[in-house]
Amino acid sequence: MPRKRERKKNRPNMLPSQEASKIYHDNYMRNSRAIGVLWAIFTICFAIVNVVVFIQPYWIGDSVNTPQAGYFGLFHYCVGTGPSPSRELTCVGSFSDFSSIPSGAFKAASVFVLLSMVLILSCIACMALFFFCNTSTVYKTCAWMQLLCGVCLVLGCMIFPDGWDAEVIRDMCGEQTGKYSLGDCSVRWAYMLAIMGILDALILSFLAFVLGNRQTDFYLDDLQTDNKDPGDATSKVSTCCVEPS
């Protein structure tokens, strides 16, 4: 029995601060990895939404009361010669041919939405840097990209209605159509999806900032504990080794 007690006394026990730091480190790493994976998945989903919003020509469209059938996107649109039940549509417009876009506001909105798409795709590409660079730096870089992506989407969604007074849109939506007034036409799903994308970009950006700052705070706390513990240990050793005179 005395030998067992001596063995227990001689075992190197961790200091309470070190043990608490290790438990906190393990829990934090487990939670941060799970949240980081979810953040990456939702970022990829948002990128798909952004590409769809940019390509699809269903930002505004006809209704039952419109004199013509048709629908408009950022740079591509289709209009018909008859009433809305008729589906004989003529499609015009391409981003590579700016002259085919019916309004200057549509051109500006197309550029801003394109910038948002490029930013979010660049953010996905930056995720590969997690294997090579500091995690906190990568999170903060992606956060700024997502924030700028949301700003570009806001500008695109705000500028787009300024072009509703174009002649082609007035022919389809009626004489009451003007800037920020659709007349007899209605907003379609792509425009609504773009507005929802703004909220997604802001939430993802906020989450990336939080993850990046927590990584930085944890790294600084870890450095402080590492710097304190050797000093405490050496001081204890020095006091124990000094023999009383």
Sign of CA pseudo-dihedral 168, 171, 172, 177:
positive
- Report how far residue 94's alpha carbon sits from residue 121's, in angstroms, rounded to the nearest whole number: 21
Is 215 within the bounds of a domain? yes
Dump the DSSP string for 87-106.
--EEEE-BTTBGGGSS-HHH
**Lowest-pLDDT range of 157-161, 192-196, 232-236:** 232-236
pLDDT at 27: 64
Is 153 within the bounds of a domain? yes
Is 163 within the bounds of a domain? yes
Is 188 within the bounds of a domain? yes
| 7 token code pair | 């063995």
pLDDT at 81 over 80: no
189-241 and 16-55 helices cross at what angle (nearest 10)?
160
- Report how far residue 242's alpha carbon sits from residue 27's, in angstroms, rounded to the nearest whole number: 40
Q: Which residue has the tokens 């001689």?
A: 10
pLDDT at 45: 95
**Domain enclosing residue 209, as ranges:** 17-227
- Report how far residue 144's alpha carbon sits from residue 28's, in angstroms, rounded to the nearest whole number: 24
Average pLDDT, the chain: 80
Number of domains in the chain: 1
CATH number of 41's domain = 1.20.140.150
What DSSP designation does 79 have?
A: E
pLDDT at 43 over 80: yes
Is 242 within the bounds of a domain? no
| 90 token code pair | 């003529």
Q: Residues 134-171: pLDDT tens digits?
A: 888 899 999 999 999 999 999 999 999 999 999 999 98
- Report how far residue 112's alpha carbon sits from residue 107's, in angstroms, rounded to the nearest whole number: 9
Burial 68-94 (b: 16+ CB within 10 A, else e): bbbbbbbbbbbbbeeebeeeebeeebe
Is 80 within the bounds of a domain? yes
The pTM of this model reads: 0.76
Is 1 within the bounds of a domain? no
pLDDT at 236 over 50: no
pLDDT at 79 over 60: yes
Number of CB atoms found within 10 A of residue 122's CB: 15
Band (pLDDT 50/70/90 cuts) for residue 33 is confident
pLDDT at 108 over 50: yes
Name the CA radius of gyration of the chain, rounded.
Answer: 30
- Report how far residue 96's alpha carbon sits from residue 100's, in angstroms, rounded to the nearest whole number: 9
